[in-house]
Amino acid sequence: MDAGPISLTYRRYALGLLLAVNLLNYIDRQVLFAVFPLIKSDLRLTDTALGFLGSAFMLSYLLFAPLFGWLGDQWSRTRLASGGLVIWSLATALAGFAPGYRTLLAARATVGIGEASFGTVSPGLVSDFFPKEQRGRILSWFYVAIPVGSALGYLLGGVLGQRYGWHTAFLLVGLPGLLLALPIALLRTPPRGGDEASSPAPEGNAFTRYAALFRNRSFVWNTLAMAAMTFAIGGLAQWIPSFLHRVHALDVAKGNTLFGATTVVAGILGTMAGGWLGDRWQKKSGKGYLLVSGWGFIIGTPFAALAILAPSLSVCMAAIFIAEFFLFLNTGPLNTVILNVSNPSVRAMAFAVNIFFIHALGDAVSPSILGWLSDQWGLRSALLITPLAMVVAGVLCFICGRYVVRDMALAEGVE
């Protein structure tokens, strides 16, 4: 609901609540990959079939995002977020009763539908609570749920799966989300656009508004950069636990605990550093967010390659830490660029288009591609395509910087 002035205390409460839901979002998303080895053994799957479990989630996620993007700019964002939370929590829990591959595949696809509802409306909702100049840091707090939630997904999935089986792991991580559905539905919300609420809204129906986003060069190049980033992150996130199991002979619980702990520390440090650096560089240059991201990708690339090629576990994990730091550095800045170059009245639609393409070109296909390549060449060789994707992401960020100042001015109604 929307009502009157909102105090700073309530704004922080809203940020904390949305952060908690985003945390569950990534726990329920990543728990699958923690139990990959157990599912593979139990259901006797090829790596291609195993990878498609991750792709099924992403395919439904990206296909439903445009619908929820349109609804998010027309209807209650809090109700959409709450409804999505209920759907994906129930679907995750019901995966705990899946008797075979097809049922598990259907459950994971349904998780994608629920998370698409939350994912399209939540970034704009979070940003509307705070001033524009704090946007990078605020979104970094919100997106710190990615490394923390992912790490918890690996940790919980690994420990619960090793001790009680993969069915129990899905059941126990899925149920807690239902407790937050009502608080999200009752959340007070600020005007769309927050301190930019007076910006003129673009005219036209849903089709013309979506079409206008494709004429926004900054939005297009930024989305392509995020797609390359998502390809790399998706590939590494879904296959590194299996890589540690196969190449470095770690059991499921130990491998996921080690990778989860590395991810959470590197992710928190990288995400918060990216938000701080992005806001700082943006004050000096209109393309500051993109400079932080572009150089982050370039610097992180050789460490990603080293992590895959390192013969010893200690060198591998040190390189994973550094590579993840520079990958997560980009989370706040690149999402902030989407907000800055999009009119407040179409931000849910902008995130819907972004979600569609970053996953269609990124982690909806990378698990299956890497799984197929692993069947042909071996997992270590297959993973080497992820550092190449990071280089591509960095180059696309620098290209986007050529257009971003002009497109930010247009989004704010300044000709």
Q: At what angle do helices 217-247 and 47-72 cross, to 10 degrees?
A: 150
Tokens 């409306």 label which residue? 121
State yes or no: pLDDT of 238 exceeds 90. no
pTM given for the model: 0.75
pLDDT of 252 strictly over 80 = no
Largest CA distance in the chain: 61
- Measured CA to CA in angstroms, residue 202 lies from 133, 165, 199, 216, 339 at distances of 23, 52, 9, 13, 15
User: Hey, which residues does 189 pair with through a beta bridge?
Assistant: 2
Domains and CATH numbers, the chain: 8-195+206-411 (1.20.1250.20)
Q: What is the pLDDT of residues 382-408, one digit of tens each?
A: 999 999 999 999 999 999 999 998 988
Q: How many Å apart are CA 60 and CA 260, to the nearest integer?
A: 26
- pLDDT reported for residue 399: 95
Taking the C-alpha atoms of residue 325 and residue 300, their distance in angstroms, rounded to an integer, is: 8
Rounded to an integer, what distance in angstroms lies between the CA atom of residue 287 and that of residue 48?
40
The answer to whether the CB of 407 falls within 8 A of the CB of 217 is yes
Termini Cα distance of the chain: 33
Q: What is the pLDDT of residue 180?
A: 92
Q: Where are the alpha helices (DSSP H) in 35-46?
A: 36-43
For residues 343 and 202, the answer to whether their CB atoms sit within 8 Å is: yes
Q: What is the reported pLDDT for 193?
A: 62
E strands along 89-245, which residues?
none
Nearest residue to 106 via CA among 117, 90, 126, 121: 90
Burial of 224 (0-12, 13-18, 19+ CB in 10 A): buried
Beta bridge partners, 2, equal 189
